[in-house]
Amino acid sequence: MPKKVVPEEARRRRRPTRQGAVLSEGLIVRTALRVLREHGTGGLTARRLGGALGADPSTLYRYFAGMDDLARAVGNELMGRALDGWTAQGDWRADLRSLGLALHSSYLAHPQAAVLTASRVSGRPREIAVDEAILGLLRGAGLTDRSAVRFYHAFIDLALAFAALDAGSLALPEEARRADEDMWGTTYARLPAATHPNIAATADRLAARMPHSAYPVVLDTLLDGIAAELTGRQPGHVAGPTESDDTRPGTGSG
């Protein structure tokens, strides 16, 4: 049975840790990000985090119900950082695009943490603020609530899926990542046209493009779809199959 988290006002240490810091949720999350960067997802343990903070590992459980709760808090922090430098300018498409790129960049700034948290739902304030902003932009653009939720689902899952994919590459050892990227030039580019005519015809372009994220291209495709739905809607329009609820299982991310 998980331990009960102590309320915020009751859990503050009166004395600093051995590192001279006063513990807080924010400090623990920031330190967890550093531990993840230095030791990877398997290296985030209560013992190692306590050592980095200069505190007994058991102290962490006054702030978080467990390491899984801490992981959700890390994801919440990455979500929130996307909003820190983002401001809506009044153009729904430009605002959604810039917010999507900000989310992607926030996760890629901490690839090990992204691998750990991109598929999680924290239900914490900073994550909720991102979701509120996305839905506000979609509804403000003129979408029905049903369509706004459908496109919200696509938008947030797209951002987090590419964050996890691209972060997975960045989290690899440098030698392994370089070997993967070089494969387009060392293997694909040498395939003969007689057996692989399509790859041979596009080899140079593949080598130049594939080491980079496809997220901006796919994001623009999604935004094109939203714009097409807004343009195509006429007064009295009845929701068709494209606006029906999708009952297939989904990730529920974001």
Tokens of 208: 């130049």
Percent of the chain with pLDDT over 70: 83
Question: Per residue, what are the HEC states of 35-72?
Answer: HHHHHCHHHCCHHHHHHHHCCCHHHHHHCCCCHHHHHH
pTM of the predicted structure, to 2 decimals = 0.82
Phi/psi at 113 (5° precision): -70, -35
Helix axis angle for 145-170 and 215-232, nearest 10°, is 170
Tokens of 175: 């030698």
State the average pLDDT for the chain: 88
Q: Could you read off the pLDDT of 42-91 as tens digits, one per residue?
A: 999 999 999 999 999 999 999 999 999 999 999 999 999 999 989 999 99
